[in-house]
Amino acid sequence: MTYQQLKAEEEKYVMNTYGRFPIALDHGKGATVWDVEGKRYIDLASGIGVNCMGYDNEILIDAITAQAHKLMHVSNLFTTEPMVWAAKKLVEKTHLKGKVFFANSGAEANEGAIKLARKYSFDRYGEGRYKIVTLVNSFHGRTVTTLKATGQDRFHNYFFPFTEGFDYADANDFDSVRLKADETTCAIMMELIQGEGGVLPLDPAFVKQVEAYCRERDILLIIDEVQTGVGRTGSLFCFQQYGIRPDVVTIAKGLGGGVPVGAVLAAENCCKVLTPGTHATTFGGTPLVCAAVNAVLDTVADGEFLAKVREKGAYLKNGIESLGKESIHGVRGMGLMLGIIVDEGKHTGFANKLIEKGVLAITAGRNAVRLLPPLTISKEEMDEALTIMKEVF
């Protein structure tokens, strides 16, 4: 079937909620994908930072296949090995001494963290300490609550009434945080690199100040690592490079290497807040997805693998900078989470052109072409992408 034929069927049967690029993907190998018409692309998007292990990865596929033969799903009324081992790895590899709740997406992980923070405060201080402060230009998800947690006005539309109890502080402005995070506040939630917002890393000094402020006031520090987590920035989690100790970390995107899974990782001080009957989900932590999580963590949570991610990130960043293109105003980000800064509003045009020439890239904010390649991308694949970028920019 051609793209045009498939697109016509899509328009008939699938809700039109995405501005999709004009190709239909069919299969992949490593960081290379092919569309339904056989055209080949270097994938620097990996499904918005999800396919961290690349395509047709044997370790991942073997783990999923073996588990599928045993059990794919049991309810959360029973214990399974894959879930326990996946949780143990997340706890031990982060030294957070806490516990994990498994959800199915980033938004759900954030919903869980928000509920956890509110109950933590309710248990200790009673009603009235419910406010969650997030940052202007943040992104935390698409449910009615996480839309409101997202610090961008354009997301606070149509779906009224939204969940109350969110306020927004300016990133890298500690006075603004102090002003917003008052005595009614139970948590501050932020991304360390604003992903959807434009690949904007927070200032480390600011992050440290926020952490100290949270400690002082018994406000929970929730770090949304849905995009930055699972090796993306060159450490298992980005907070490790910032040298902070969050109370809650939310994880999704890369965690399952392509299967839908999210997680709330809570540190020792607040990991007993959610109790039977206070939080649940049918699919969360099902053995099939946890088999994938185990395969991903066994691969990614490894010093050598993470060192390679940092090397590849530096190689790609340097490669883009040395193209010496006037249309490129800089490259932001950490590890393999990079934003190529172009003139405001020109990012979509460049992404379209890259795709036309054989590189999958996405956009972020108002001026960034965002790159989130599979963490397993090869030097050859990066070189091929750089050659195409040279032409496009």
Q: How far is the CB of 250 from ligand PLP (least distance, A)?
A: 7
Q: Using CB under 6 A, pick the residue from 31, 42, 53, 107 that binds ligand PLP.
A: 107
- Part of the chain binding ligand PLP (CB under 6 A), chosen from 61-69, 133-141, 237-245, 369-377: 133-141
Residue 230 sits in the site that holds ligand PLP (CB under 6 A): no
- Between residues 134 and 294, which has the closer beta carbon with respect to ligand PLP? 134
Cα–Cα distance between 299 and 285 in angstroms, integer? 19
- Part of the chain binding ligand PLP (CB under 6 A), chosen from 119-127, 136-144, 238-246, 378-386: 136-144
Q: Using CB under 6 A, pick the residue from 28, 82, 98, 106 that binds ligand PLP.
A: 106
Compute how many residues bind ligand PLP; rule: CB under 6 A: 15
Judged by CB under 6 A, the chain residues 199 through 228 that form the site for ligand PLP are: 224, 226-227
Q: Using CB under 6 A, pick the residue from 112, 141, 258, 313 that binds ligand PLP.
A: 141
Cα–Cα distance between 44 and 361 in angstroms, integer? 5
- Between residues 259 and 392, which has the closer beta carbon with respect to ligand PLP? 259
In order of 132, 231, 234, 244, 353, the CA distances from 331 in angstroms are 31, 19, 16, 25, 18
Residue 332 sits in the site that holds ligand PLP (CB under 6 A): no
Q: How far is the CB of 243 from ligand PLP (least distance, A)?
A: 20
200 near 137, Cβ under 8 Å?
Answer: yes
Cα–Cα distance between 186 and 118 in angstroms, integer? 6
Residue 195 sits in the site that holds ligand PLP (CB under 6 A): yes
DSSP E strand stretches across the chain: 25-29, 32-35, 40-43, 99-103, 131-135, 166-169, 185-190, 193-194, 200-201, 220-224, 248-251, 262-266, 330-334, 337-341, 359-360, 362-364, 368-371
Phi and psi at 25, nearest 5°, equal -85, 150
Site string for ligand PLP, 262-281 (x = CB under 6 A): --------------------
Residue 342 sits in the site that holds ligand PLP (CB under 6 A): no
Q: How far is the CB of 162 from ligand PLP (least distance, A)?
A: 16
Residue 284 sits in the site that holds ligand PLP (CB under 6 A): no
In order of 43, 168, 216, the CA distances from 389 in angstroms are 13, 37, 48
Cα–Cα distance between 15 and 10 in angstroms, integer? 8
Report CA 248 to chain centroid distance, whole Å: 15
Residue 139 sits in the site that holds ligand PLP (CB under 6 A): yes
- Between residues 108 and 384, which has the closer beta carbon with respect to ligand PLP? 108
Reading the block at residue 323, the tokens are: 């193209």
Residues that bind ligand PLP (CB under 6 A): 105-107, 110, 139-141, 191, 195-196, 224, 226-227, 252-253
